[in-house]
Copies of this chain bind each other. A is one copy, B any other.
Amino acid sequence: KRKNQLSVEEYVAGILEGNRTILSKAVTLVESSKPEHQKIAQQIILKCLPYSGKSIRIGITGVPGVGKSTFIESTGKYITSLGHKLAVLAIDPSSERSKGSILGDKTRMEELSIDPNAYIRPSPSAGSLGGVARKTRETIILCEAAGFDVIFIETVGVGQSETVVHSMVDFFLLLMLSGAGDELQGIKRGIMEMADAITINKADGDNVDRAEMARVQYMSALQLFPPTDSGWKPKVLTCSAYKKIGIDKIWKTINDYLSHVNQNGYFQFKRSEQSKFWMYETINDQLKSNFYQNPKIKEILGNFEGQVLNEELSSFVAAKELLETYYQSQKVKE
């Protein structure tokens, strides 16, 4: 054991005490790709598990320009002022980074970043969406064990990340702007139907009427959607994160949702389903990764894909031949 390196017990004790420096070090281990770091990280997580789960996990999405940082700053300050401890995480895989950096710039959350009851951690920078998602989900466990009882998970609403965030949060909030025009260009189809609430930001000054009109429009559109599994009717709200207007109503809506899903048992049901989902997701990811990282497969995959795209080979014949090659190469290795 090197100097300066903590034992698993020291990590866990520090986290349970709410020591932010130790929490950050543990998260760094979670994010590391080194096997020796991963081993310690898994032991820490396992010991933190019994102390986790006691938070509200809130997903926040919206395209760049919608005002996510300001929204998190204002909502975050409001939540800590009520006596909560807030952790802000992000899922922002490198492949999607160019589409709108989030949390990269802590200075955009001036007040929240120095709030002793808030902990801001940017997205792990490297890796696939699956890898980043796993790390974020493990970081949630550590933050909860450290006493954070509200977790924000931020993502940009333009890629695959929202589905992943949706699968690890209790409540999913979509930030929009008034005027159902340009800002929709960036949003992925399907996200609207995932939202437990849509909030139209920048409802201030000249924009108040337009925001209210947008609210009514979205409200009536949502009524045409099929009901949610939770039985909750998604809400549409307006706010001005910049002027701190309407933040209290958003927090109230989240709490109304929680009462609703606690009463009908959906909260715990969804949490369990999510845990199960992540077990299978991790297995399936690893099975795929082993296949696609196989040197022989890497060598021939492009050629097969080309033949399928040119309709020289059926998708199924190509798949069959690739699988045979893979299992053959596995046999030879042993």
Binding site for B on A (CB under 8 A): 42, 45-46, 49-50, 53, 134, 137-138, 141, 180, 184-194, 217-218, 220-221, 223-228, 272, 275-284, 286-288, 291, 304-305, 308-309, 311-320, 322-323, 330-331, 334
Q: Are A137 and B190 in contact (CB under 8 A)?
A: no
Q: Please, which residue of chain B has its CB at the minimum distance from the CB of A49?
A: B314
Q: Are B46 and A180 in contact (CB under 8 A)?
A: no
With contacts A192-B193, A225-B189 taken as known, whether A323 is within 8 angstroms of B279 at the C-beta atoms is no
Q: Are B221 and A224 in contact (CB under 8 A)?
A: yes
Q: Are B227 and A184 in contact (CB under 8 A)?
A: yes
Chain A interface helix/strand/loop/mixed? helix
With contacts A49-B311, A284-B284, A316-B134 taken as known, whether A279 is within 8 angstroms of B304 at the C-beta atoms is yes
List the number of copies, as a whole number: 2
Q: Are B184 and A319 in contact (CB under 8 A)?
A: no
Since A189-B228, A192-B225, A275-B308 are in contact, a sample of 12 more A-B pairs with Cβ atoms closer than 8 Å, ordered by chain A residue number, is A49-B312, A138-B316, A184-B224, A184-B225, A189-B194, A189-B225, A191-B226, A217-B224, A220-B220, A220-B221, A282-B320, A287-B291
Neighbouring B residues of A276 by C-beta, 8 Å = 305, 308-309, 315
Neighbouring B residues of A224 by C-beta, 8 Å = 180, 184, 192, 217-218, 221
With contacts A193-B192, A218-B224 taken as known, whether A315 is within 8 angstroms of B278 at the C-beta atoms is yes
Bound complex: CA of A284 vs CA of B291, how far in Å? 9
- Of A281, A314, A317, most buried by chain B (CB within 10 Å of CB) is A314
* A124 smallest CB distance to B (angstroms): 14
Q: Which of B180, B221, B282, B284 contacts A316 (CB 8 A)?
A: B282
Bound complex: CA of A334 vs CA of B328, how far in Å? 11
* A145 smallest CB distance to B (angstroms): 12
Q: Are A190 and B193 in contact (CB under 8 A)?
A: yes
Bound complex: CA of A272 vs CA of B322, how far in Å? 19
Q: Which of B138, B191, B226, B322 contacts A283 (CB 8 A)?
A: B322
* A316 smallest CB distance to B (angstroms): 5
Bound complex: CA of A314 vs CA of B225, how far in Å? 35
Bound complex: CA of A180 vs CA of B45, how far in Å? 47
Neighbouring B residues of A315 by C-beta, 8 Å = 137, 275-279, 281-282
Q: Please, which residue of chain B has its CB at the minimum distance from the CB of A214?
A: B224
With contacts A283-B291, A283-B322, A322-B283 taken as known, whether A185 is within 8 angstroms of B42 at the C-beta atoms is no
Bound complex: CA of A319 vs CA of B133, how far in Å? 15
Bound complex: CA of A184 vs CA of B190, how far in Å? 17
Q: Are B283 and A319 in contact (CB under 8 A)?
A: yes
With contacts A192-B193, A220-B221 taken as known, whether A316 is within 8 angstroms of B42 at the C-beta atoms is yes
Neighbouring B residues of A180 by C-beta, 8 Å = 223-224
With contacts A46-B317, A282-B319, A316-B282 taken as known, whether A309 is within 8 angstroms of B275 at the C-beta atoms is yes
Q: Are B291 and A279 in contact (CB under 8 A)?
A: no
Name 29 interchain pairs, CB-CB below 8 A, sorted by A. Answer: A45-B314, A45-B317, A46-B314, A46-B317, A49-B311, A49-B313, A53-B311, A138-B314, A141-B314, A180-B224, A184-B224, A184-B225, A184-B227, A185-B227, A188-B226, A189-B194, A189-B226, A190-B193, A191-B226, A192-B226, A217-B224, A221-B221, A276-B309, A279-B316, A282-B320, A283-B323, A284-B287, A286-B323, A287-B323
